[in-house]
Amino acid sequence: MSRTPVLYLSHGAPPLADDARWTRQLAGWSADLPKPQAILVVSAHWEEAPLTLGATETVPLVYDFWGFPDRFYQVKYAAPGAPELAAKVRKLLKSTTPVHDAPDRGLDHGAYVPLVEMYPDADIPVLQVSMPSLDPQELFDLGRKLAPLRDEGVLIIGSGFFTHNLSAMRETDGTDGTPPRWSTEFDRWGDEVINQGDVDALLDFQHKAPAAAVAHPRIEHFAPLFVTLGASETTGRTVIDGFWHGLAKRSLEFS
Residue 173 has pLDDT above 70, yes or no: no
Amino acid 174: pLDDT: 65
pTM tops 0.75, yes or no: yes
Amino acid 177: pLDDT: 78
Split at pLDDT 50, 70, 90, the class of 111 is very high
Answer whether 177's CB lies under 8 Å from 55's CB: no
Amino acid 105: pLDDT: 97
Percent of the chain scored above 90 by pLDDT? 87
Split at pLDDT 50, 70, 90, the class of 91 is very high
- Mean pLDDT over 118-134 rounds to 98
